[in-house]
Each structure stands twice: as structure tokens, then as C-alpha cells.
């Protein structure tokens, strides 16, 4: 998907640029994926599972940018990478093509500044413009900041998956399934 960069001033006065990830971002993006996944228990992936190279990441970004149904956006705050968000189709079959999945992760130090709302807002606008009718996500049921962000942007909880994630210590986390209509 194409995306025109957007610049905004955050409530703390810092400047936030939302733009599409490009192949040149591969190394920085890979580092941030490893670092951010180690900062929170709420993500599915763990740092050691991010085992691909910057070259492979660059290839993936190029393929995504060439695809009409996929987008990876980055948020930069005063020039520093704050986080990323992705949208992709829920399935390749014709009967699933109206649905998309979204995902967002920021560095903890950039949380609570309004970056998540800006980044996800832009991603959802781009998803709607690309023809998606419904955005979907799952979120750990105790991830209060994320659930608050999703509700603020119009997502509703429609169900749950008990024991969706199992941690190394044997404990579990449930997923809440959330949906937002992009119609209208
Ligand atoms: C979830 C996440 C993207 C939210 O982004 P953020 O930039 O912190 O959110 P924002 O500052 O834009 O806040 C948007 C709204 O969310 C809510 N919110 C944000 N932080 C919150 C907190 N700590 N507690 C409760 N509500 C919170 C508020 O309603 C806020 O709106 P308001 O500013 O008008 O009050 C971010 O916390 C994050 O990346 N967390 C780690 C990774 C993660 O959990 N990703 C989601 C996986 S499903």
C-alpha cells in the first residue's frame, strides 16, 4: 500500500511523523522488534524468536510495500523510532478479503504520549481507503492501555480465547477479540 507521511505535534510538544517503513529501515526496525518484544509480556513473539536478518527484513518490507493489501507504518518522535503498526488481510480467500488484522507496538518510553492513537488512526484510515470493511485484533485481556486505546478508536470486544498464550512459567493469558467496522 502507498502512504503519504503525516506530521503532528504531540500533547507534550514533540513532533511525531507517521510514515511507511522502507527497506532502508530494516536494521532499525529489526532492532526495535527485538527490544520492544522484551519490554512487555503482552506480545506473542519473544526476542529470541526474532531470528531473521536485516537483509531478510528488508526483503519482507519490499514485498509488503508492493502488495496492495499490506502496510507497515512507523512512528518517529523527534526523529527517533517510537514504534510500528501493521495491517494485512485476514485471509487470501475471496470470502475473507473484506477483513483485515491490525497490530501495534511502541517502545515503553514513548507510551502514553498519544503516539498509539495517531499511528493506529492513520493505519485504520489507510485500511479503509484500501477497501477493507472490518478491522480485527486480539489483545491480552489484562492489557489495559491497549484495550483503552482500541475502545477509544471504536473497537468493540466480541469474544475471548481462554488460555490463548502460555508463558514459560506455566501461567496463561486470555485473548480478547476486538472488531471495528470500517464501513460508513
Ligand atoms: C498499546 C499501546 C500501542 C498504546 O499506545 P499509547 O501511545 O501508549 O496510547 P496513547 O497515548 O495514544 O493513548 C490512547 C488512549 O489509550 C488510553 N491509554 C493509554 N495509556 C493508558 C494507560 N496506561 N492506562 C489506561 N489507559 C491508557 C487512553 O484512553 C488514551 O486516550 P487519552 O490520551 O485520550 O486518555 C502501547 O501502550 C504499546 O505499544 N504497548 C506495548 C505493546 C502492546 O501492548 N501492544 C498491543 C498488543 S495487542
The ligand 1 atom at the shortest distance from the C-alpha of residue 140 is: 48
CATH topology of domain 6-181: Aminopeptidase (3.40.630)
Q: How far apart are CA 109 and CA 121, in angstroms?
A: 20
Using a 6 Å cutoff on CB, does residue 73 contact ligand 1? no
Rounded to an integer, the average pLDDT of 114-133 is: 98
Helix (H, G, I), strand (E, B) or coil at 52: coil
pLDDT tens figures, 10-34? 999 999 999 999 999 999 999 999 9
Using a 6 Å cutoff on CB, does residue 85 contact ligand 1? no
Residue 89's pLDDT band (cuts 50, 70, 90): very high
Q: Is the pLDDT of residue 184 over 90?
A: no
pLDDT tens figures, 142-175? 999 999 999 999 999 999 999 999 999 999 999 9
Cell of 98: 473484506
Distance of CA 55 to the CA centre of its chain: 21
Take atom 7 of ligand 1 and give the residue whose Cα is closest.
116
Q: How far apart are CA 151 and CA 148, in angstroms?
A: 5
Residue 103's pLDDT band (cuts 50, 70, 90): very high
Give me the chain's average pLDDT, please: 97
Would you give the DSSP letter of residue 33?
H
pLDDT tens figures, 138-147? 999 999 999 9
Q: How far is the CA of 107 from the centre of ligand 1 (A)?
A: 11
Q: How far is the CA of 138 from the centre of ligand 1 (A)?
A: 15
pLDDT of amino acid 94: 96
- Residue 122 burial by Cβ neighbours in a 10 Å radius (0-12, 13-18, 19+): buried
Please report the DSSP string for 127-144 in residue order: HHHTT--EEEEEEETT-H
Rounded to an integer, the average pLDDT of 78-101 is: 97
Q: How far is the CA of 174 from the centre of ligand 1 (A)?
A: 19
Rounded to an integer, the average pLDDT of 75-104 is: 97
- Residues of the chain with pLDDT > 90, as a percent, come to 99
Question: Which residue in 139, 68, 64, 132 sits closest to 99, CA to CA?
Answer: 132
Amino acid at each position: 500500500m502507498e502512504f503519504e507521511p503525516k506530521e503532528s505535534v504531540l500533547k507534550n510538544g514533540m513532533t511525531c511523523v507517521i510514515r511507511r517503513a522502507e527497506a532502508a529501515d530494516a536494521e532499525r526496525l529489526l532492532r526495535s522488534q527485538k527490544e520492544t518484544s522484551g519490554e512487555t509480556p503482552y506480545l506473542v513473539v519473544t526476542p529470541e524468536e526474532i531470528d531473521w536478518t536485516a537483509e531478510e527484513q528488508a526483503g519482507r518490507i519490499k514485498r509488503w510495500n508492493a502488495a496492495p493489501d499490506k502496510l507497515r507504518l512507523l512512528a518517529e518522535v523527534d526523529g527517533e523510532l517510537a514504534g510500528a503498526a501493521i495491517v494485512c488481510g485476514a485471509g487470501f480467500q475471496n470470502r475473507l478479503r473484506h477483513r483485515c488484522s491490525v497490530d501495534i507496538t511502541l517502545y515503553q518510553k514513548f507510551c502514553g504520549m498519544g503516539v498509539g492513537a495517531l499511528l493506529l488512526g492513520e493505519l485504520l484510515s489507510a485500511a479503509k481507503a484500501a477497501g477493507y470493511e472490518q478491522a480485527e485484533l486480539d489483545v491480552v485481556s489484562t492489557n489495559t492501555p491497549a484495550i483503552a486505546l482500541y475502545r477509544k478508536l471504536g473497537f468493540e470486544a466480541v469474544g475471548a480465547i481462554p488460555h490463548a498464550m502460555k508463558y514459560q512459567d506455566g501461567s496463561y493469558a486470555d485473548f480478547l477479540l476486538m472488531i471495528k467496522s470500517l464501513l460508513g
